[in-house]
A and B are shown apart, each in its own frame.
Chain A
Amino acid sequence: MSTGFRLPQGGLIDRNSQYRFSFDGRALTGHAGDSLASALLANGIQFVARSFKYHRPRGIMGAGLEEANALVTLGDGARSLPNAVASTEELHDGLSAHAQHCWPSLNTDFGAVNQLFSSLLGAGFYYKTFMGPGRGPKSWLFYEHFIRRAAGLGKASREPDPDQYETVNTFCDLLIIGSGPAGLEAARIAAEAGLDVILAERDFELGGALLADTGTIERQPAAQWLASQVDRLSKSVNIRVLKRTTAFGLYDGTVAGLVERRDPAQATTIPWRERFWIVRAKRIIIAAGAMERPLLFAGNDRPGVMLASAVGSYLNRWAVAPGRRVVLATTNDSAYATARDLAIAGLSVTLIDSRDRISEPLHRLANNTGIDLRLGQSVRATLGSRHVRTVDIGPANGQGAVGSRLACDIVAVSGGWSPTQHLLSQRGVKPSWNESLQAFLPGRANEPIDCVGSAAGLWRSDDCARSGRAIAAAAAAALGRKAPVEDIPAPGGWETPIRPVRLASDLNLKKIFVDLQHDVTAADILLANQEGYEAPELLKRYTTLGMAADQGRTSAVPALALLSEMANRSVGEIGTTTFRPPFAPVSIGALAGMERDKHLLPIRRSPLHDVVADSGAHMLETGLWMRPWYYPQNAETVDEAYLREMRQTRDAVGICDVSTLGKIAVQGPDAAEFLDRVYVNGFKAMKAGMARYGVMLREDGIVMDDGTSWRLSETEYFMTTTTGNAAKVMAWLEDLLETRWPELRVSLTSVTDQWAGISVAGPHARNLLAANIGELDFANEAFPFMAVRNGVFNGVPCRLARISFSGELAYEVYIGASHGPALWRALRNTAKELGGCAYGLEALGALRIEKGHVGGPELDGRTTLEDLGLGRMASTKKSFIGDVLRQRPDLRRDDRARLVGLVPVTKGEMFKGGAILAEQGQEDGHGLGWVTSVTESPSLGHWIGLGFIQGGLDKWQGKTVLAADPIRGRSTLVKIVAPHFLDPEGTRLHA
């Protein structure tokens, strides 16, 4: 359709290279240095996409991030990338691109039928319909099915992303974002002043607007000036230059988020696809330039309508003339240079300037290059099917009829420029509207962040360079360095003022596209305003203006101009919307970096991990830990294995890895006092050489954690916590000591990782340990229940306490972590000889249920001491954390749910954790309580469980209730019993 072509010379492309690429299967070629868009245009392909809502044909309109139309899908399979912006995508050999959001093809897209209904599909139409029939949500679900499929743009891969991403944490004195004249000069001055500088450039070439500038800067040809700057940069040791790197967000503490893309030519040598830079800068300079705005006329979305600066870029940077007959429509001076370059390149140029008067030099420029200049005119409409063929022009004041119709294949437009200050807006800095420049200029940040160059509203490259130098010098001074002081130039720089953008005509508002990517038209904005959604944020939300992937980069100001025209208020009074990070879309994979799969929240392993695995353990992930779940023999299932492990433990002996328990050394003269304050029960009176079970409460009187604390000496305790709460308890105790009781002379050390721990339980526990641990008398009198003793294993000291979670004669033995595996192997071998075994988490849980000990499911952060049946543990002789608030009336009520034991009425029946306890016939509501922990009991020969029921044993002992489990289709009659199923007298553990 188009007549685009590559010019025979010029441009920053490597004509010696030839890249093969494809678009929708068509084999094409381009060069190194091309963007996908420039290569497509060079091949005469302009129409590359369909619009979001109306599926209108869309072409390449920009040459950078301002591109709103040319979204394509790159690649196939697991590496396919939807919604890639053709204008910013670097061409590489083998690239394959596809049109997206069209069916069956780009040329024949059935979705285009939506254009026929555009009157029906105006702003917010969906809020007014799709509600019936019926009152429920079913109808919407039906419509939504089709709407979802019609929406979306490209299709994401369903396969796991095969690529790798990295994170770079770094620091610098000055981060400069953008490498146009302002950024380059800022970098030079800052580096010369000795600052550590990072210069980040989104593009794959440095230079910004200079890359397409055929004029001069600082009295040198732009290209020459740029080349010498780049050369100097490469020699400077204190500048890190990051190309292909988008600064997407500024966060607190002048921390910036940047994403660097791999040079596609190095895909085989660089392992990462993208790198996420977290830059902690002392100061930041935003030199991100400005973006050109389109004009508002009917058919302004047609392929062939492009930003004037983009046409200039394709011409000068990529040596591509996207057409032959160019109509260039402008409101300001900036397009004249492009017009000149186009004319010199031999294209036919008609320049439509909406202003009535322009400066003499511009007149001369037009005359000298044979440009057909028409002042006081503007484009009213374009015509054409899949490409612009003609434009209608008429008086710019909107009065009078269309004056003439011009044939053309490119309509280049310039509605003025918007400084790129999105990053500053993210910091909450409000811009201010400058009526004479027709631009939002950056406000002053309270943080050390400055805007320079076009990002600060400077239009001339000399001014940009000077502002870069001046601000960088000020930044250097602020950081204690010397740099030459210069004045900061004033914003602006055009000889003839810009003419504000106005609607070309009131006719055909439905064809005037304000937000190209979301198909928001002037008619939509009018309608939203008419319906009361006049605040810019409401208008944005109601029409979806500026909410597409380009975040309204080119549409925000034209929309505000329209609003101001309707409301007869200045753009400044109306205000603008806040820009959110990221400035440009960022891969979620890049943000995650290496922290994925097993690298996310690294798995913790006990020092015994490898030896328990050797013992045949099946592991289970619990929280952050990997723990032995059960030790199957002969292909046992988990249920078969844990029941056997229980039987062997109760009949002979079992050993269990308990290294994951939190372990804290509590040392100092006030250690006893400290424990007395944090535990509900007393620890002061306990003698050295003894251990005690303790419970600690939160300040609100709810149980926080339980465990044992061993008194090693007058001034030293060894505290254990539950696995899950270890970190929380440690931080809590540190908090208390440092911030609340600084007078207590206590030191805390987490020794969780320093000790390996093994629990040894069962009638042969004593024999097993005696056979392996020396220098210790295991006799009942010498080592009684709850005593703490030191022993020696293979010459290595170890620490033991006679404590029991299972109800058996049991010990916990701790040894230095590196000696744990040897101890485990020894104990396991002896256990085998004694008819015992290793047991895992499942049996550990089941053994404690038989004994009625509370565990994780009971300590759910809502239960009190009394709820757990531990009320009598609370000391009345001292005060402790949580003691006051646990006395609150609703926590003392008799009808609170209290811990009970549960057995099925019919012995063979089972029930499950999570069942609801309710009276028979009570089918709905919260019932009386719930089941927390359940196991089959090999000792008793039936299922048993723990649970909570309102009123507890006092009210329910011996009575029958229903364990209702409708979600698993089960309901079991259970009898309420005391929560001690086995050996309530404790003869086993005292044996």
Chain B
Amino acid sequence: MPRYSALSLINHAITGNRDWPRAWPNPDPKPSYDVIVVGGGGHGLATAYYLAREFGIRNVAVLEKGYIGSGNAGRNTTIVRSNYMLPGATEFYDFSLQLWNSLSHELNYNVMFSPRGQILLAHSPDALDGAARRGNIMRRHGIAARLLNRQDMQDLVPHLDYRPTARFPIWGGLMQPTAGTARHDAVVWGYARAAAALGVDIIQNCEVTGFLREGGRIVGVETGRGQIRAGKTGIAVAGHTSRLGEMAGLSLPIESHLLQAFVSEPIKPLLDYVIGFGGHGHFYISQSDKGGMVFGGDLDMYNSYAQRGNLPVVRDVAALGVSLMPCLGRVRLLRHWAGVMDMTMDGSHIIDRTPVDGLYLNAGWCYGGFKATPASGWCFAHLLARDEPDKLAAPFSLDRFRRGAMIDEAGVGPIPKLH
């Protein structure tokens, strides 16, 4: 794989950019692999990359039904943070953030990880105490965190609504200075290119239509491009996990819900941080490098696979947006779209073996999948390679619901739409 660098850009520019090779090849599927990863999103590709890179398993295929990154990897609002409070979650997302820090170099692909700082707003004194608990947990795990008062907020983010007419007064916030955003597509492409360079086959337009079984064990997949055998099969198809699960006879603690995302026209820099609203309902906003205000809110609140959202959430998100940041009123929405989320019963993900031999599960990412991409890939690769979860993945087992060991950051219980 020829390295990307400023120098290589100059060299190629001199030759008219005619010699840039494919970022990843376009192979036909082989009859069999050691490991098949179903799902060519960020998680699937990262899994393949770490399998090859960390665990020495290179006879790997990633099967993608459309083009790589066509699911939630390319539909999210690109926020990367690790401000989690509960045991298991804090450590997992901290590890993920550590991987993010050197990801561009690791992949030799600029994923534009921009730890510009993320602020979770507090709208009451109680909310500030809650933020303090979260911040204390972060600090005790070596994750940078700062508690901000109202004055700090006005200094850092002057364009929020601090007027007396504000619907949700801003008492302060919890800042994670090391959190931020990354370029979502670049993560997909970076992992694809790096995985392919290590020998992984990335096979697009290859939909899995069933599993091959031998004596109760899954030994490969049926696809639109024929049967492909595998020693182990991992699925990383968040949004559609239940469908793959059904093919394997599994009934999972997952519902598919729509999450919409929004981007405005490009404007000159207006907002330097990622802001999360902590009041009634969800709202989060940041500004992309291109200048678009990128924001989102609540789920559409009904099961769906439609990849398109509806007006009530559009209105709610716009209303929260202008109420939080009153200058947004004249900024114009450029596009909105929706992704299909795997919503679990406790709002946390699942990385585990399944009751079916040979089948492994990476699923249930709810809202949080993008920031988890590196750690998810790493932990899933570990599981596939070693047949047992890494200690970071162990809390996110499939049987935690049976044991009563839920990891419920929102504290809303087994109601997927509320996580």
Contact = CB atoms under 8 A, between A and B. Distances in A.
Same complex for A and B? Answer yes
Interface stretch (B3-11, B223-231, B241-249, B351-359): B3-11
A110 interface: no
B189 A125 contact: no
Contact of A251 (B270, B310, B323, B412): B310
A623 interface: yes
Given A83-B332, A127-B186, A926 B20 contact: no
B105 A916 contact: no
Contacts of A698: 413-414
A160 B326 CA distance: 4
Contact of A152 (B24, B74, B185, B268): B268
A384 interface: no
Contacts of B406: 700, 862
Contact of A131 (B105, B114, B413): B105
Q: Is the interface of A mostly helix, strand, loop or mixed?
A: loop
A157 B70 CA distance: 35
Contact of A964 (B8, B18, B140): B140
B16 A119 contact: yes
Contacts of A600: 167, 319-320, 323
Contacts of B109: 127-128
A894 B329 CA distance: 53
Interface stretch (B41-49, B121-129, B214-222): B121-129
Contacts of A538: 67-69
A156 B140 contact: no
A923 B140 contact: yes
B168 interface: yes
A810 B281 CA distance: 36
B9 A153 contact: no
Interface in B152-194: 158-159, 161, 163, 165-169, 183, 185-186, 189-190
Contacts of B145: 967
Contacts of B278: none
B65 to A, nearest CB: 12
Given A157-B327, A160-B163, A916 B136 contact: yes
A624 B279 CA distance: 10
B318 interface: yes
B212 interface: no
A690 B333 CA distance: 58
B291 A967 contact: no
A156 B328 CA distance: 8
B408 interface: yes
A126 interface: yes
A163 B331 CA distance: 12
A914 B129 contact: yes
A591 to B, nearest CB: 3
B298 to A, nearest CB: 13
B250 interface: no
A227 B319 CA distance: 41
Interface stretch (B51-59, B259-267, B369-377, B378-386): B259-267
Contacts of B408: 861-862
Interface string A904-940: 0000000011111010000111110011000000000
A805 to B, nearest CB: 17
A548 B6 CA distance: 26
B391 interface: no
Given A585-B333, A597-B167, A601-B167, A924 B266 contact: no
Interface stretch (B232-240, B360-368, B397-405): B397-405
B88 to A, nearest CB: 9
A361 interface: no
Contact of A915 (B114, B136, B329, B412): B136
B411 A914 contact: no
A151 B266 contact: yes
A144 B290 CA distance: 10
Contacts of A587: 329-333
Nearest to A154: B267
A43 B185 CA distance: 44
Interface stretch (A524-532, A666-674, A748-756, A761-769): A524-532
A916 B167 contact: no
Contacts of A965: 132, 136
A710 to B, nearest CB: 27
A333 B180 CA distance: 53
B135 interface: yes
A141 B115 CA distance: 7
Contact of A154 (B105, B268, B269, B414): B268
B141 interface: yes
**Most chain-A Cβ atoms within 10 A of its Cβ — which of B133, B315, B330?**
B330
Contacts of A537: 66-67, 70, 74
A391 B117 CA distance: 51
A141 B116 contact: yes
Contact count band on A? 35 or more
A861 B123 CA distance: 20
A983 interface: no
Interface in A692-734: 698-702, 704
Contacts of B306: 428
B319 A156 contact: no
A249 B336 CA distance: 10
A621 B329 contact: no
A462 interface: no
Contact of A153 (B22, B132, B190, B265): B265
A535 B66 CA distance: 9
B140 A127 contact: no
A448 interface: no
A856 B332 contact: no
A740 interface: no
B126 to A, nearest CB: 7
Contact of A967 (B18, B66, B136): B136
Interface string A138-149: 001100100111
Interface string A532-570: 110101100110100011010000000000000000000
Contacts of B108: 131
Given A591-B318, A701-B404, A585 B104 contact: no
Contact of A532 (B18, B26, B105): B26
B31 interface: no
Interface in B307-351: 307-308, 310-311, 314-315, 318-323, 326-337
A860 B110 contact: no
B129 A913 contact: yes
A537 B75 CA distance: 12
Interface string B58-101: 00000000111110001000000000000100100000000011
A136 B267 CA distance: 28
A888 B403 contact: yes
A127 B280 contact: no
B280 A623 contact: yes
A53 to B, nearest CB: 10
A916 B337 CA distance: 40
A623 B108 CA distance: 47
A161 B322 contact: yes
A259 to B, nearest CB: 10
Contacts of B105: 131-132, 135
Interface string A853-864: 000110011100
B356 to A, nearest CB: 24
A129 B5 contact: yes
B291 A153 contact: yes
Interface of A: 52, 79-83, 119-120, 122, 125-132, 135-137, 140-141, 144, 147-149, 151-161, 163, 165, 167, 249, 251-252, 255, 257, 278, 426-428, 523, 527, 530-533, 535, 537-538, 541-542, 544, 548-549, 551, 580-582, 585-589, 591-593, 595-601, 603, 620-624, 698-702, 704, 856-857, 860-862, 885, 888-892, 912-916, 918, 923-927, 930-931, 964-968
10 contacts: A582-B334, A582-B336, A589-B330, A593-B315, A596-B322, A597-B161, A620-B124, A699-B414, A862-B411, A915-B132
Query: Sorted from nearest, which 7 A-B pairs have the closest CB atoms?
Result: A861-B411, A161-B329, A888-B404, A589-B329, A152-B291, A914-B132, A160-B326
